[in-house]
Amino acid sequence: MNIQLNFNDKSAGAYLAKPASGEGPGVLVLHAWWGLNPFFKQVCDQLAEQGFTALAPDLYQGRIAKTIDEAKELLGQRDDGLMKDSVNAAKAHLVSLNPGKPIAVIGFSMGAAWALVVAEREQDVAAVVMFYGAAEADYSQVSAKILGHFAEVDEWEPREYIDTMQADMTAAGLDVTSHFYPKVGHWFMESDRPDFDSDSASLAWQRTFEFLKQNL
């Protein structure tokens, strides 16, 4: 369901999905540069079907891109401060639904970078799942286990960059597992994109659900 997050005299929309039981371990879902489109809401619904409470904040204040050019424009117009506040508010709301329990963060592309930001400063994040995205962070401040899903050949996230990130994480003592999927493009998980690959997406979801259930 659609909800509203209020913070610092501001607000942001979000999508919340709960399991049939009414409650479950929390998973924060951070969308790619397209905005909070139907696919990312479906991600929350899929997580709820697996027993998780999933919350996806709208980091673009209702704006949605359908093409790469539109997405680039939205990214260029972004308000980093408002995005950070929206992520923080969503995380706080998710934690309030199951106080004292750890959460996970799932991020897609741009959202994967935000997932690392959250994990870097929040010690109650037990698990991070990154879909074809990366970012630099102070990994010594991260305690979460990391699962990464990447295209084997990706023009947006070069393999050498991913390998360097994983090496830095390992050097910092993090528990990191990465999977590389052959013959797919950057957005292979997203059913509304031409790059969608159902077999790779199905395998990645299977691995993700197992990872979350083991760590939450």
Domain residues for the domain of 146 are 2-215
Domain at 54, CATH number? 3.40.50.1820
**Domain count along the chain:** 1
Can you tell me the mean pLDDT for 48-52?
97
The tens digit of pLDDT for each residue in 120-171 reads: 877 899 999 999 988 778 888 899 999 999 998 888 888 888 889 988 999 9
Can you tell me the mean pLDDT for 25-47?
97
Residue 75 has a pLDDT of 86
If one counts every other C-beta atom within 10 angstroms of the C-beta of residue 69, the result is: 9
Q: What share of the chain in percent tops pLDDT 90?
A: 67
Q: Is the pLDDT of residue 78 over 90?
A: no
Distance of CA 135 to the CA centre of its chain: 13
Give CA separation, 79 vs 41, 43, 61, 63, 144, in Å.
Answer: 22, 25, 10, 13, 27
Residue 37 has a pLDDT of 96
3-class SS of residue 117: helix
